[in-house]
Structure formats: structure tokens, C-alpha cells
Structure 1
Amino acid sequence: MITRSATARYEGLGKTGKGWVSTQSKVLDQSRYGFNTRFEGEPGTNPEELIAAAHASCFTMALSFALAGAGHSEGTLETEAKVKLDQDGAGFKVSRSDLKLVASVPGIEEAELRRLAEEAKANCPISKLLNAEMELEVEVKAAATA
């Protein structure tokens, strides 16, 4: 079992409060967040952005391992995740996380790439955690020839 951690601190309450979030690795170290960074576009982070980063990186790594397991030895994968936050009655909910993959993998058939990408989307740990609606868009780029 692997355990990772993050901490969040919030001073003040509601819209006037200010928060800081840090990760175990210190990639985030007292990064600012709050109402203004979440809903008003001020500098800092927000939970949805962090979920998007986690989903994009988890899916991309899962797909890279699936491709390696299928015998591919090189390629480039770039994924954008867009996490949607919607009003849900009196509160909010993360309703979906859509992934857009741009892939260049020499020697792969497009159908195989799409199949492996769908499997990675369904099986990466963050996809399983989210259990939200997800869409995967795949763009296949021609692999550079030597």
C-alpha cells in the first residue's frame, strides 16, 4: 500500500477566508487558494484544478504503461483534463472530467491506441476515484520518421 498526503489550511470563513495547500512532495508548498482563486480567477489554485492535474497525469501514465506492455517502446502522450464544477441544489459537485489526448506513437494502429486509451481511462486510479461522467477525445499525430 502506498499513502500520499496533502494538507490544507483555511483562515477566516466563507468568501473572506484564505487558504493554503501543500503536498507531501512539496510540489505545492503553501499554495494559495480560496473563494477568489476558485470562482473569481485570482492567482492561486483550486480543488478542481488539482483534480484535473491528478486525472491528466494518472491517465497519461496508465496509458504509457499499457502501450509499453503492448510492445511499444517510444512515443509522446499529452493529455488535457477539464473538470466541471456544477451547482447541485444548495451546493456544488464535480460532475465530469473530460480528457483530451494527443498521441504520437510510432507503429501503432489508431484502433489499438483508442482501445488502450479507453482502458486507461476506465482503469486509472483517479478515474476510479472520481466515478464521474468522463469523455475521452483522442487525436493521433503522425509519428516522426527517422
Structure 2
Amino acid sequence: MKINRSGSAVWSGGLKDGKGAISTQSGALDAYPYGFATRFEGVPGSNPEELIAAAHASCFTMALSLILGEEGFTASKMETNAVVTLEKQEDGFAVTASHLTLKASIPDVDESTFQDLAAKAKANCPISKLLKADISLEAELLS
């Protein structure tokens, strides 16, 4: 099975004075603005790194749901936050890390099993496989 999804970006102008818009196939984003200031200066708007972070958090959480189900567990609630790091290097900028923080309520699972299953999801979710960055995980089991 092969599934294709798409996103697009439009850009006009130079790096610092230009403006762009991001759209997704689903319409979740429709010409949503982004630019130098939203990426590097904290101005409200989107940027590629936050989109990667949202993709990683959602993919990891779905993967963990699958893995839990295969082991006979169902989460009451899982909340995942991803922080993607963009760093300037000698040859330009690079995304160097994605740090996942998970808070989960899962009935009847012990801490060791939870940590093992979360690590398996981190290693095997499709977005983790896509990223060539150091991916770290903090997983907290809530009672």
C-alpha cells in the first residue's frame, strides 16, 4: 500500500523581506502565512519546524496507540509535545533534533512496559524514520 499526501508553499521576495504561504492537501492550512520573521524572530505565524514538530508528535502518538493495542492496552489519554531544534551550522541551517515529551494515562500498564512500548513507537513511527536528526523522548505515565 502506498499513500501520498501533499503540502505546498508559495514564496515571493527575498529571504528577509519576502512572504510565503503554506497549504496542505486536507485544507488544514490554506495559504497560511510564514516568513523570515515567523521562523527566526518569534513573530506570530508558521514555520517549517513547527510543522515538522506537529507531524512528529501526531505520528508518534498514533504509532504508540497501535503498539499499545497490539499488546492489549488502550490509552485513556496521551498528550505529546515535540520540540524541533533548528541550528546554524558551518554549511547553513539544519534541523538537529526532535524531542518528544509524552504524558499518558494507560490503565493496567506498568512503568517498564510503558517505557519499552514508548521507545518502540519513537523508533518506528514513519516521521521518526524520516528525520535524520537525534530523536529523544521523555515519557511520563500518569495515573
TM-score calculated relative to the size of structure 2: 0.97
Instruction: Report how many aligned residue pairs link the two structures.
Output: 142
Aligned to 1:141: 142
Shift of residue 44, structure 1, vs aligned partner: 0.8
Aligned to 1:69: 70
For 1:133 and 1:50, the matched residues in 2 are separated by 17
For 2:83 and 2:48, the matched residues in 1 are separated by 12
The C-alpha deviation readout for 1:19-71, integer Å capped at 9, x for no partner, is: 00000000011100010100111121000000000000000000011111111
The C-alpha deviation readout for 1:53-103, integer Å capped at 9, x for no partner, is: 000000000001111111113421110100000011141000000000101
For 2:133 and 2:75, the matched residues in 1 are separated by 31
When structure 1 is superposed on structure 2, of 98-107 and 82-91 the one drifting more is 82-91
Structure 2 contact 65–75 (Cα < 8 Å) conserved: no
For 1:141 and 1:79, the matched residues in 2 are separated by 13
Identity among equivalent pairs (%): 55
Aligned to 2:110: 109
**Where does 1:115-126 land on structure 2 (aligned, <5 Å)?**
115-126=116-127
CA RMSD of aligned residues (A): 0.8
Residue 31 (structure 1) aligned with residue 24 (structure 2): no
Task: Report the residue type matching 2:64 in the other structure.
Answer: L
When structure 1 is superposed on structure 2, of 68-77 and 37-46 the one drifting more is 68-77
Aligned to 2:132: 131
Task: Report the residue type matching 2:118 in the other structure.
Answer: A
Point out 4+ residue stretches in structure 1 off by more than 6 angstroms: none
TM-score calculated relative to the size of structure 1: 0.95
- What secondary structure, in the 3-state scheme, does the structure 1 residue paired with 2:135 have? coil
For 2:52 and 2:74, the matched residues in 1 are separated by 29
For 1:74 and 1:56, the matched residues in 2 are separated by 16
Structure 2 contact 96–134 (Cα < 8 Å) conserved: yes
For 1:101 and 1:110, the matched residues in 2 are separated by 13
